[in-house]
Amino acid sequence: MQPIKILNVKKTVSKIKYIGDGKICIIDENNTVRIYDVTTFKLTDGFKIKLPKNNPQESSVDVSNNGKYIAIAVRGKHKTTVWSLKEKKLLYTLGWHKGDVLSVNFDREEKYLLTGGEDGRAYIWSMVTGKMVSSLPPHADYITSVAFSKNGLWCATGSYDKSITITNVSSMDLSYRKKVHKGAVTFLRFLGRQRMVSGDKTGEIVVWNYAKGKVEKRLIPMIDRILDIAFNSDESFMFAVCNTNKKVSLYSMEDYELISDEFIKILEVPSRIEYIPELDYLVVGTFDGGVYFYDLFEDEKKLKEFIDNNEYEKAYGLINQNPFLKRTKTYEALEEKWNKLLVLAQKKFEKGETDIAKQILSPFLKIPSKRSLVQSLFNDFSEFEKFKKAVLSQKYPLAYSLVTQYPYLKNTIYYKKMEDDWKKVFNEAKKLILTKGRDDEVRELLKPFRGVTQKTPFIQSLFNERQLYLILAQKFQKKEFKDFFSLINRYPFLTESDEYKKVVKYGESLKQKAYELLKQGEYKKVLNIVEILKQFPMFYEEAEDLENKAKILLTFYRLLAAKDLHAIEKYVIEYPFLEDVEDYQKIEREWREKLEKAEVYASNGDVNKILDELSDYMKISDKRIKIGQIVRSAYLQQIISLLIKAMKGENVKEYFEKAVRNYIKLFGFDMEISDLIEKAKRLKMDIDFSDVEEGDLTKWHLYKLPEKIWEDIG
């Protein structure tokens, strides 16, 4: 595949982000920000941020979803800067880390930033206040990758210690730590349907169910450190690049197979990739500063030319190189043409025009995916004349025997004629056999089919179980499917009967109706259909799945009607697919709106307003840790204000000691309070806290909280 455009920013590309409205943001290792129009490829805006070089091998640069913010970790300073892309100015400088920040990631709504660093710490920052609002479980080694889920309810941190921590940030009360990688985790990316992809330093790629903390699949690995991955619009394909490899790999996210390890070959080593959904462009940035734009459907014109010129080998070869072409109408036209030629060739064989038939399909012998089909067709029709004569002379045992050996003969008009004759004869026989004394007449009627292996069980059952077909039809009419399939189990040959085919078709229609009703929220009707559908062995598992989902959703809406938020939160954790239900998302939006207001109060150290704002959620145990982190953040701001006064020469030692003791009593001895104690020591406030009573973030709500952290706790 050739690029439709190549740009050169001269320095290594550290970040590519499509920010909507036809604009793409590219940031290089020198922190130069460039905005390009993706239709004209013209530079439309940009500016240079005066910071030390970022490291393109890390994920230390990010651009928010719609281009509102840029985050760049500052090497050697243990800080992260947040910039307004539109106003080209610094908004916040974020601290708390004790080592360099190695990975940053914005949530999709551009409200929060997640940072992870050399100190093994990870923090969530409010983009409204620029303050830290939550800390995540720390790692024993560097945190090398961080990411938010698409719905913002979860986040993940990956570490040099090869482990991944997945945390529910909506409540902060659920967290999994898993160690499944062979090397340092270098990349994390969330998808829909509760999935996440992680990559490591050795090139290993793992797909997760993040809500359950379970590995779904290990993909075929790449040859080196995973640097970046991207997905197409419906997340059916994944693109991946790794260190030292001048290629883009393509994976199917439907069957988790590697489609091609050289989907795109480049003359430079890729550093970053991005997918532009509106245009189906893949953008690849490189360590040499190249930015390559690929139109994944550009080859469609070439495909059409090959089809028009009957160059089928080239057409299918192009599709193998670019599987995205299978999503085009041109590919549909190619397959339609193939099917028509297949039918035409069979008709020519039937007319005895063998050479013409072979000439029609001979181009497809060069196509691996079609070759075996064409060869089988040629082989099967070598016996066509013998088969035709057998049918016309009613030598059905020979005819059916030939069909068994040469399956393509089933597609002929002569096979259809033979089957029509059988159905007509057998249906007449089913009526006659129920009349006493007409057995000889039935035998004579069925005589041409005597000796046909496929029909023998039908004929035998007709005489031995005279009522069988009548009973089968009655079971269908009465909707007694359990008994119907019991008969099928006793007489397996009945799967070829008209009655069986009608029942299966009816079951398919029931299943389709159940899925439609589930989407419409008609859960009780779904359960009614499922009771019938469970009698169909081939649909039993799907029926059980439909039943479970309908019951879960019924319970969810009962809890919603009762406004039992505590029970709802527990239920959603148990059944994560409920996260995608619109009514639950509405609950989450209301919670987040309250949370955002509380975070503003926390930035000002106003504990009372936080508690007032979030009072309705205090009875939800799953939310208390999150609320506790907001309260903790407010008290940290109060303690920081004391240190600021100390820096100005004020004597606040007594207040500081009481504040720290109270803080530890409420929340325990954490890394943040440890940092502030160290700062106090540098200000000559050397206080011994070894005898302090240590609390727990899960129990903070049991105390009567003071307005100021240095006041008495109730």
Residue 248: per-residue pLDDT: 97
Which residue carries 């004759």 as its tokens? 421
Average pLDDT, the chain: 95
Sign of the CA dihedral 547, 552, 553, 555?
Answer: positive
User: What local confidence, expressed as pLDDT, does residue 321 receive?
Assistant: 86
3-state secondary structure labels for all residues of 489-507: HHCHHHHHCHHHHHHHHHH
Kindly give the residue spans of alpha helices, DSSP state H, lying in 137-186. Answer: none
Residue 175 has pLDDT above 90, yes or no: no
Name, in order, each residue with C-beta under 8 angstroms of 500's C-beta and a sequence gap of 6 or more: 472, 488, 494
What is the per-residue pLDDT for 686? Answer: 82
What's CA 337's distance to the chain center, in Å?
34
pLDDT-derived band at 350 (thresholds 50, 70, 90) equals very high
Cα–Cα dist 76/200, whole Å: 24
Q: Residue 93: pLDDT above 90?
A: yes
Query: Looking at residue 379, what is its pLDDT?
Result: 96
| Pairwise CA distance, residues 321 & 107, whole Å | 35
> Dihedral of CA 29/31/32/38: which sign?
positive
3-state class (DSSP) for residue 431: helix
How many residues are given for the chain? 714
Confidence band for 695, pLDDT divided at 50, 70 and 90: very high
User: Phi then psi for 94, rounded to 5 degrees?
Assistant: -100, 135
Helical residues (DSSP H) of 433-480, grouped into ranges: 439-446, 456-464, 468-477
Q: Read off the pLDDT of each residue in 41-65 and give the average, rounded to a whole number.
A: 97
Residue with the bigger pLDDT between 381 and 622: it is 381
Q: For residue 605, what are its two tokens?
A: 């150290």
Q: How confident is the model at residue 435 (pLDDT cuts 50, 70, 90)?
A: confident
pLDDT tens for 122-165 read: 999 999 999 999 999 999 999 999 999 999 999 999 999 999 99
Assess contact for 14 and 4: CB atoms under 8 A.
no
Give the separation between CA 530 and CA 515, rounded to whole angstroms.
10
Res. 622 pLDDT band, cuts 50 70 90: confident
Q: Give strand pairing partners of 25.
A: 17, 35
| pLDDT for position 434 | 85
pLDDT band at 402 (very low <50, low <70, confident <90, very high): very high
Q: Which domains does the chain have, with CATH numbers?
A: 5-227 (2.130.10.10), 330-467 (no CATH), 468-562 (no CATH), 582-702 (no CATH)
pTM for the whole thing? 0.86
- Give 275: exposed, middle or buried? Use CB within 10 Å, 0-12, 13-18, 19+: buried
At CA 176, angle to CA 175 and CA 182, rounded to 5? 145
Residue 437 scores a pLDDT above 90: no
Query: Side chain identity at 303, as an amino acid letter?
Result: L
CA angle, 12 as apex, 10 and 15 as ends, to 5°? 120
Q: Is the pLDDT of residue 21 over 90?
A: yes
C-alpha distance across the termini of the chain, in Å: 70
